[in-house]
Amino acid sequence: MTVEMSSPSVAADGGPVPAVDLTVDLAGLTLAGPTLTASGCAAAGRELAPFVDLRRLGGVVTKSILREARSGRPTPRMAETPSGMLNSIGLQGPGIDAFLAHDLPWLREAGVTTVVSIAGNDAAEFTELAGRLAELGPAGGVAAIEVNISCPNVANRGLVFACDRDSTTQVLDGVVAAVGGRVPVLAKLSPDVTDIVAIAQACLSAGVDGLAMVNTTLGMVIDTDRLRPALAGVTGGLSGPAVRPIAVRCIWQVHAAMRDGRLRPAPIVGIGGVLTGLDALQLVLAGAAAVQVGTATFHDPTAPARVADELGTALAERGIGALRHAVGLAHESDPTAALAVRRQESR
């Protein structure tokens, strides 16, 4: 399947929808499209390759990689919820050596823009993983690194580093130093915090190039037939359309803090409940420069490409000729006037 990012379609008035510039500048990394896969929802991309030309997406974000192989949490590990799902996978994966030997070469040879997600049991593990990947750099197939400091479905809740400013700083200081500017570093934040702006400030002060917002939120389901928790791990990460309003709120708050000078400006990759192009547009208007599509791929493996097409059509129908002109537009008191200024400034 070939995905046309220019999104040719039919406008509401019956005429053709003009092409929209959907490219994204992500801290110096140019993405071909506005959508990426979300970590954990497409492994290392092979599963989606029969359905989508992965080269035409903004990129593939891999499942989080750890130093050693990990079997994850016991089954059952997934449960459906209204407008979403719970997962309690527990960062199952083959470890960095297997990833570098098998998955990364496939992605590189396929010409895929690859954002490698990393996780760790402590700051030292994060630093080691980031350093090994940064050594490879773009020539070795690593376009960027996403630092998963926010996974909620681990047995030790103390591993959710993004719930504490000091832990966040400790992890990201080491990662940023190890990477040394060779590839962009994105910090993936948790919505399960009292003040997400404070955590974002810790990330940006540590020197990350951008933020990925947000990871799943901690939830739980009880099986009323078995009279016990549905998941073996009791709790899991809630994803899907049900969490989209949370993601929009978090992105809005952080982008607002960037606009008023409380945070230094940095690109935000929006994540959370994106099922359609209009869902993605909400995240963009709140302040996201690009979006990730995750849970939707479980029932529609073409979702990352389809959402990009729908987003392009939605922008064109609103007279917005470039995705970058829409980023954070909902913060403006007069979006129409602000859009005109943005168009003029980009000429």
Two tokens, residue 165: 């400013």
Helix axes 244-259, 196-205, angle to 10 degrees: 60
In a domain, 128, yes or no: yes
Cβ–Cβ under 8 Å, residues 237 and 216: yes
Instruction: Provide the domain count of the chain.
Output: 1
Residue with the two structure tokens 């400030």: 201
Indicate which residue of 151, 163, 203, 250 is catalytic. 151
Q: What is the pLDDT of residue 346?
A: 83
In a domain, 93, yes or no: yes
Q: What is the pLDDT of residue 160?
A: 78
Residue with the two structure tokens 């926010």: 150
For the entire predicted model, the pTM comes to 0.93
Two tokens, residue 345: 């400034």
In a domain, 232, yes or no: no
Q: Decide if 151 is catalytic.
A: yes
In a domain, 259, yes or no: yes
Nearest of 117, 224, 248 to residue 175 by alpha carbon: 117
User: How distant, in Å, are the alpha carbons of 3, 147, 164, 202, 266 from that of 195?
Assistant: 38, 19, 10, 11, 18
Q: Residues near 235 by Cβ (< 8 Å), separated by ≥ 6?
A: 88, 152, 153, 218, 219, 220
Q: Write out the residue range of the structural domain in which residue 52 sits.
A: 24-73+88-218+239-345
Two tokens, residue 104: 């990364």
Q: What is the CATH number of the domain that holds 267?
A: 3.20.20.70
In a domain, 59, yes or no: yes
**Burial environment of residue 250 by CB neighbours within 10 A (0 to 12, 13 to 18, 19 or more):** buried
In a domain, 46, yes or no: yes
Nearest of 292, 301, 296, 212 to residue 3 by alpha carbon: 301
| Per-residue DSSP letter, 133 | H
Task: Output the tens digit of pLDDT for each of the chain's 347 residues.
Answer: 333 344 444 444 455 556 999 999 999 999 999 999 999 999 999 999 999 999 999 999 999 999 999 999 999 999 999 999 999 998 999 999 999 999 999 999 999 999 999 999 999 999 999 999 999 999 999 999 999 999 865 555 455 788 889 999 999 999 999 999 999 999 999 999 999 999 999 999 999 999 999 999 999 999 999 999 999 999 999 999 999 999 999 999 999 999 999 999 999 999 999 999 999 999 999 999 999 999 999 999 999 999 999 999 999 999 999 999 999 999 999 999 999 999 989 88
In a domain, 2, yes or no: no
In a domain, 226, yes or no: no
Q: Is the peptide bond before 76 cis (omega within 30 degrees of 0)?
A: yes
Q: Residues near 82 by Cβ (< 8 Å), separated by ≥ 6?
A: 242
User: How distant, in Å, are the alpha carbons of 7, 79, 240, 284, 344 from that of 278?
Assistant: 14, 26, 15, 10, 25
Beta pairing partners, 210: 186
Cβ–Cβ under 8 Å, residues 233 and 288: no
Q: For the stretch 107-142, what's the b/e string if a residue is b when 16 or more beta carbons lie within 10 angstroms of its beta carbon?
A: bbebebbbbbbbbbbebebbbbbbbbbbebeeeebb
